[in-house]
Amino acid sequence: MVSWIISRLVVLVFGTLYPAYSSYKAVKSKDVKEYVKWMMYWIIFALFTSVEVFTDMFLCWLPFYYELKIAFVVWLLSPYTKGSSVLYRKFVHPTLSSKEKDIDEYICQAKDKSYDTLVHFGRKGLNVAATAAVMAATKGQGVLSDRLRSFSMQDLSSYQSDPVDSTFLLLSNFLSLWKLQPRFPVLSRSGT
């Protein structure tokens, strides 16, 4: 457990933060040699991180696994060993150069498929949302009509005794259906 924590800390500080700051300095100084050095490092580090996800799951039980990871990150960074440069020039660059057209085609296909998939699921999502809105509106109208039907003819006939008062009472009841407060005072039969 302790070696895992130390390994994560070393990879974070020496594998990510220090190279990020050094890359910043290379950009600031506009030194092409430093650009190339740190670009090679970041390509190798991206591959290392991708492989690390799987090796952490399957090889973590090996003795000194985390210590080897620490040593590998230090080897990548060391100006004496130039590990990232060695790996890039001997393995990564030749492989990527020979497969570049295939990788570019695959990326273009993936972009096209992802756009088509996004449009397809976007349409489906809009259809589901529209259907849900229509169903909610239909249910809401049903509730409103049931509520309006709940008024009996006797209730409505009692409102007809005073036309002004009954109009305000009907409007007040209608607004209460929608949980709205009337903006005018409801007149009582006494006229106050």
42-87 per-position pLDDT tens digit: 999 999 999 988 988 888 888 888 888 889 999 998 888 889 999 9
DSSP, collapsed to helix, strand or coil, labels residue 32 as helix
- CA angle 54/60/65 to nearest 5° reads 110
Cβ 154 vs Cβ 137: under 8 Å: no
Question: How many helices and strands, by DSSP H and E, does the chain display?
Answer: 8, 0
pLDDT digits over 5-21, tens only? 888 888 888 888 888 89
Percent share of the chain, pLDDT over 90: 19
d(CA 34, CA 41): 11
CB 73 within 8 A of CB 10: yes
pTM above 0.75, yes or no: no
Per the prediction, the chain carries an average pLDDT of 78
Neighbouring C-alpha atoms within 13 Å toward the C-beta of 25:
9
| Alpha helices (H) along 78-183 | 83-87, 93-149, 153-159, 163-177
Compare 93 and 179 and report the one with higher pLDDT. Answer: 93
**Which pLDDT score is estimated for 158?**
52
Instruction: Find all residues with CB under 8 Å of 3, minimum gap 6, and list them.
Output: 66, 67
- Residue the block writes with tokens 């490092």: 41
